[in-house]
Structure 1
Amino acid sequence: MTPGSQRAMAFAAAMAEARHHLAAAQPMAAMPLLQRAHVLGQRDIGLHLRVHLLMLRAAWALRDGRELRGQLLRLVLTPIGHLSGRLPLGNIGTSDVSPFEPMALPPDMAHLLHDDKP
């Protein structure tokens, strides 16, 4: 991701707001922001892993065992997905969807995923 790009700024904003909600003991409010950050950051392994770590933290705060297991699985699968080049575009990264399922991009995010391509 190109620093200073619209996508980088949108990713940083979603992560900052999610962290704010987690700090305020509002993990349910953090999840949609983390889903957004996942879609925006999943092509960069470092950002991708950071999103899943925060999703794990939110799942812990929610006492959601299914989401906890899902995030632990995704933390293992993320490096494999990057090495194999099999990252499903648009996937929101939560346990209620397959980690292999591409998803439709929301219109407000579609252009962000292409803003830093030459």
Structure 2
Amino acid sequence: MNFTQAIRYAVLRELVMARRARLSTQRTQEFKHLENAHVLGQESTYWHTYTHWLMLVWGWKNKAYSEVVGQILRIVGAISKTAIGLLPTGNTGGANVSPFKPMSLSSECAQAIAQAKSRCAKG
């Protein structure tokens, strides 16, 4: 099992919560769940790129055009840099933070990532 598969359910849980927030017009909460999904999936090129895409869509729908521009740049970085490990741990992925800034992990995210990596090690 690879990391993309191992972290899948944790990322999807956050994406479901983001969707629920969107449906109840809680835009800030929706973006917070997208950030959590980003942190969880950051070591997977697939999840890393996908969460940046969802952040771009969020920016477009909410007319947050600085977010749209920031996410275009981050998508390019996610596609080209994730596989070689050039990413700052814990970075929430929004355009409001430097794409190079490491950030502390919440205990929930740290635990989910550790569990996923443990599953990868077991095969």
TM category, shorter: 0.7 to 0.9
d(CA) in 1 for partners of 2:108, 2:83: 28
User: Structure 1 residue 83: deviation in Å?
Assistant: 4.0
**Aligned residues: CA RMSD:** 1.8
Is the Cα contact below 8 Å between 2:4 and 2:47 reproduced in 1?
Answer: no
Q: Which residue of 2 aligns with 1:72?
A: 72
Q: Tell me, what secondary structure is at the counterpart of 1:10?
A: helix
User: Please, what TM-score do these two structures have when normalized by structure 1?
Assistant: 0.86
User: TM-score by structure 2 length?
Assistant: 0.83
Q: 5+ unaligned residues in a row in structure 1: which ranges? A: none
* Structure whose residues are more often helix by fraction: 2
Query: Match for residue 18 of structure 1?
Result: 18
Deviations 1:67-116 (A, max 9, x none): 11111110111122124320111000001111111111112211211112
* Stretches of 4+ aligned residues off by more than 6 angstroms: none
Distance in 1 of aligned mates of 2:4 and 2:85:
19
Identity over aligned pairs, percent: 34
Specify whether residues 74 and 49 from structure 1 end up closer, same or farther in structure 2 by C-alpha distance, changes over 3 A only: same
Find the counterpart in structure 2 of residue 42 from structure 1.
Answer: 42
- Matched residues in 2 for 1:2 and 1:47: separation? 7
Corresponding residue number in structure 2 for 1:84? 84
Query: Structure 1 residues 2 and 77 mapped into 2: Cα distance closer, same or farther (>3 Å)?
Result: closer
Query: Which sections of structure 2, spanning at least 5 residues, go unmatched?
Result: none
Please tell me whether the aligned partners of residues 56 and 71 of structure 2 are also in contact (alpha carbons under 8 angstroms). yes
Aligned residues: 116
C-alpha distance 50-66 of structure 1, shift in aligned 2 (>3 A): same
